[in-house]
Amino acid sequence: MGRPRTPWKLGLSEVQARYEAGESAESLGQACGVSYQAVIRALREAGVEIRKSGGRPGPRRGHVSVRETRTCKGERCANEFEVYPSSNKRFCSPACRYSSPEIAKLMATNIRNRHRLSEIDSAARTAMCSVCGPVDVRQRREKKKYATTAVLWRCRSAERARVWARQYGADSTTIRAMWESQGRRCAICRTALGERFNVDHCHASSRIRGLLCSQCNTGLGLFADTPQRLRAAADYLERTGDVNA
């Protein structure tokens, strides 16, 4: 004779209900006095969908997803994908992004290689760029298996131009013109902006709204770009009297 089967302290219907409510198989096994493998096996035989380790399959009960559905902006592509509202993603894949005429036109000028550096000062990390003039530079190393030991430098303005083209679909001339039109100052607090500014954009349409300092750009993001919350915060500060001039 084999080993007698251990009786369960809980009924299968109660175990199933508690498992579907979110309780783990380990805790149910302890409550029933059996191993969690026995609980999983019994639930599977009863036709219950078994969760993967560490979570429930699909969205939680009563959970409303904060993601939104967008349509790919690529040519001859109508795929839909889910993103968070704060994302500026416009294409469903890198293939669609780089095949887009808008991005291809910006990338066709070979932004990185047009910026030739000379008069490099490694201590101050500055150089003379053939396009931008005096700029800050960043040290980089070749990403090759048998890379050379020579120190390579990259124009930071060229790196920013590449990001502007890829993320916002704007060239450096447009961004620089906006920078000059704002008097080289933040569009909100009017703090002087150096070469390192933040491009503020609408997360729904990816339209560039202005150039901000780091603090203002972070503040808008923390308030979810909601005017009502920003006005309520201003009213709260004025009501409590703790306002910095």
Between residues 180 and 109, which one has the greater pLDDT? 180
Q: Strand 68-71 relative to strand 133-140: parallel, antiparallel, unpaired?
A: unpaired
pLDDT 10s digits, 31-62: 888 888 888 888 888 888 887 664 444 555 55
Higher pLDDT, 126 or 101: 126
| Chain mean pLDDT for the chain | 77
Amino acid 143: pLDDT: 62
**Residues 195-211: what's their mean pLDDT?**
81
Q: Is the pLDDT of residue 4 over 60?
A: no
Return d(Cα 33, Cα 151) in angstroms, integer.
65
Query: Which is higher by pLDDT, 155 or 24?
Result: 24
Query: Is this prediction's pTM over 0.85?
Result: no
Read off the pLDDT band of 197 (50, 70, 90).
Answer: confident
DSSP 182-202: TTTB-TTT-PBP-S--EEEE-
Residue 56 confidence (pLDDT): 47
Cβ atoms of 185 and 210 closer than 8 Å: no
Residue 70 contacts residue 81 (beta carbons within 8 Å) = yes
* Axis-axis angle for helices 36-45, 12-20 (nearest 10): 90
Whether the per-residue pLDDT at 87 is higher than 70: the answer is: yes
Give percent of the chain above pLDDT 90: 1
Amino acid code (one letter) for 33: G
User: What is the rounded CA–CA span in Å between residue 53 and residue 50?
Assistant: 9
Q: Is the dihedral of CA 13, 16, 22, 26 positive or negative?
A: positive
Give pLDDT tens digits for 17-29: 888 888 888 888 8
Which has the minimum average pLDDT: 27-31, 90-94, 133-137, 191-195? 133-137
Q: Which of 20-29, 69-78, 139-148, 182-191 has the lowest mean pLDDT?
A: 139-148
Percent of the chain with pLDDT over 70: 79
